[in-house]
Structure 1
């Protein structure tokens, strides 16, 4: 049961990042606006898309799960700062969700892919 739960958890977390990659590709302007508002270069949307896509695929496949999950936790921590807007309850819920996702990624980083995974 633990290995099956780990597989399902990996797939669910991966789905979030894969959807983020699709969203960035379909309409990069939303992310570009968040980047520009913080003074970051808007072209960072493209490496973020690539990272989301690659990390999502790695989690589903179960390859390099520990390092990828650790990087995803850091990514969530950094991207949460774009949503730290106390006057906007919606943005604050995204801020908190990013930290929750980081927590799930840290658990994957600590425990690995489980039995149902490809090996590099």
Structure 2
């Protein structure tokens, strides 16, 4: 049962990052405007897109889970500052969600991927 729950947890958290990558690909304007509003290079959106996609796929596959999960926790904590707008309840809910997702990522880093993950085939000498 634990392995199944870890797989579901990995997929649910990954869905957020994979969806974010697709959103940045299809409609980069919102994230670009957010970056520009903070004086950051708009080109960072493509780096964020690639990171979201690769990290999300790694979570689903269960590969490099601990370092990826820790990096995602740091990413969520860092990007939460973009949403710290106390006068905007919607942005504040995103701010809190980022911290909750960071907590979920840290829990995955502690628990590991479980048995249901992609395993690399070991080369056999001929």
Q: Under TM normalisation by the shorter chain, which class is it?
A: over 0.9
TM-superposed CA distance for 1:119, in Å, is 2.8
Structure 2 unaligned blocks of 5 or more? 121-126
Residues 7-86 of structure 1: matches in 2 within 5 Å? 7-86=7-86
Q: TM-score, normalised by structure 2?
A: 0.93
Residues 98-113 of structure 1: matches in 2 within 5 Å? 98-113=98-113
Q: TM-score, normalised by structure 1?
A: 0.97
3-state secondary structure, aligned to 1:42: coil
Counterpart Cα distance in 2 of 1:112 and 1:45: 29
Structure 1 unaligned blocks of 5 or more? none
Counterpart Cα distance in 2 of 1:65 and 1:8: 14
Deviates more, 1:105-114 or 1:88-97: 105-114
TM-superposed CA distance for 1:100, in Å, is 0.2
Q: Which has the higher helix share?
A: 1
Counterpart Cα distance in 1 of 2:77 and 2:101: 9
- Look at both structures and tell me which one has the larger radius of gyration over its CA atoms: 2
3-state secondary structure, aligned to 1:118: coil
Query: Which runs of 4 or more aligned residues in structure 1 lie more than 6 Å from their structure 2 counterparts after TM superposition?
Result: none
TM-superposed CA distance for 1:51, in Å, is 0.3
TM-superposed CA distance for 1:3, in Å, is 1.0
1:93 partnered with 2:75? no
TM-superposed CA distance for 1:110, in Å, is 1.2
- The two structures, once aligned, show a CA RMSD in angstroms of 0.7
TM-superposed CA distance for 1:38, in Å, is 1.1
Give the count of matched residue pairs: 120
Counterpart Cα distance in 2 of 1:15 and 1:76: 14
Counterpart Cα distance in 2 of 1:53 and 1:3: 23
